[in-house]
Amino acid sequence: MKILVTGGAGFIGSHYVRTLAHRGGPAITVLDKLTYAGNLANLDSARGHFTFVQGDICDTALVAELVAEHDEVVHFAAESHVDRSIENAAEFVRTNVTGTQTLLDAAVRSGLKSFVHVSTDEVYGSIAVGSWPETDPLRPNSPYAASKAAGDLLALAYHRTHGLDVRVTRCSNNYGHHHFPEKVIPLFITNLLDGKKVPLYGDGLNVRDWLHIDDHVRGIELVRTAGRPGEVYNIGGGTELSNKELTALLLTACGADWDMVDFVEDRKGHDRRYSVDCTKICTELGYLPGKDFATGLAETVAWYRENRSWWEPLRERAALGVG
């Protein structure tokens, strides 16, 4: 069994590779372009357990060759930061749509055994009350979410049209170690550890469901190994917090107070609330989020305290604005 993991040098993909490698799982090849968000150091503890190919998922010849050599694909590679998609959506459409289509075409041609497409809850749009089941229509609002929705629907179309074994996961906001310091949790932690203020969007009342990367990786593995072809599985963490509530927890964890918060102009088109209904993956595949948020957040803050050498160069690499 050989698995091709795209985007395996990013935040979630690298955790997936490390987890499988530490378990002594199947042979893994990582295909990653190493954009500003990709970092080979994320895979240090898995060295010797995977083959690395630096390349672009839009490179038809490379993708065809690699997909043909593997049994399964787990597809994480994406442009993933909403703020960047508002500034310039071109790379989001190229990677998240064309890159996904390139992989899917190669999968059909090679007769791939299965293709797990890692999508996001943001494809559903924003929900005031209740939670989205997988059957809800997609109403993405940001260019990032729209490009992910296009990839997600393409993946499902390749199942219906070509009979490709595609499984789609739509997860909520991930958090944990090795998270690039432009996203809200690591941005706020690293700012506070450096004695800098944190930028809080609008009234701070936008609500997100937080999912620890351990739980997300477990959910993806359940879908890969026991999920059904052509099906979509929501994966959530069960901890809904407004950004203001999250900020309060991060201030406490870093020993700071509200003087360290700048309320800044809201993100354009900022979705008010995300909430996925996870009944399907819980009942069908036995998934339950295991990481208590208070514990997971404390571990995450401790990791950033202890791993300045990981994040300091990354803050310099990316022109950091608001998270």
Selected from 124, 132, 158, 180, the binder of ligand NAD by CB under 6 A is 180
Give the range of 8-16, 65-73, 185-193, 256-264 binding ligand NAD by CB under 6 A. Answer: 8-16
Handedness of CA 93, 104, 278, 286 (dihedral sign): negative
57 near ligand NAD, judged by CB under 6 A: yes
9 near ligand NAD, judged by CB under 6 A: yes
Selected from 3, 4, 5, 11, the binder of ligand NAD by CB under 6 A is 11
DSSP conformational letter for 41 = G
DSSP conformational letter for 99 = I
Distance, in Å, from the CA atom of 183 to the CA atom of 178, rounded to the nearest integer, reads 11
x-or-dash string of contact with ligand NAD, 134-173, rule CB under 6 A: --------------x----------------------x-x
Distance, in Å, from the CA atom of 167 to the CA atom of 157, rounded to the nearest integer, reads 11
Nearest by Cα to 172 from 128, 204, 111, 219: 219
Look up 72 and say whether it is catalytic.
no
The site that binds ligand NAD (CB under 6 A) totals a number of residues, namely: 30
x-or-dash string of contact with ligand NAD, 223-262, rule CB under 6 A: ----------------------------------------
Residue number closest to ligand NAD, CB atom:
10
296 near ligand NAD, judged by CB under 6 A: no
Given the residues 72, 79, 105, 122, the one annotated as active site: 122
DSSP conformational letter for 135 = T
181 near ligand NAD, judged by CB under 6 A: no
Distance, in Å, from the CA atom of 152 to the CA atom of 169, rounded to the nearest integer, reads 9
Given the residues 56, 72, 79, 121, the one annotated as active site: 121
Selected from 5, 21, 73, 76, the binder of ligand NAD by CB under 6 A is 76
7 near ligand NAD, judged by CB under 6 A: yes
Nearest by Cα to 114 from 76, 174, 78, 165: 165
* Cβ-based neighbour number of residue 54 at 10 Å: 13
> From the CB of 10, what's the least distance to ligand NAD, in Å?
2
318 near ligand NAD, judged by CB under 6 A: no
Selected from 17, 43, 46, 77, the binder of ligand NAD by CB under 6 A is 77
Selected from 3, 4, 5, 12, the binder of ligand NAD by CB under 6 A is 12
| DSSP letters spanning 177-246 | TT--TTSHHHHHHHHHHTT--EEEETTS--EEEEEEHHHHHHHHHHHHHH--TT-EEEE--SEEEEHHHH
x-or-dash string of contact with ligand NAD, 99-128, rule CB under 6 A: x------------------x-x--------
| Residue corresponding to tokens 């957040």 | 297
Query: Which parts of 236-292 fold into alpha helices (H)?
Result: 243-253, 279-285
Contact 8, 118 (CB under 8 A): no
21 φ/ψ angles, rounded to the nearest 5 degrees: -65, -45
The binding site for ligand NAD (CB under 6 A) comprises 6-7, 9-13, 32-35, 37-38, 56-58, 76-80, 95, 99, 118, 120, 148, 171, 173-174, 180
Q: Active-site residues: which are they?
A: 121-122, 144
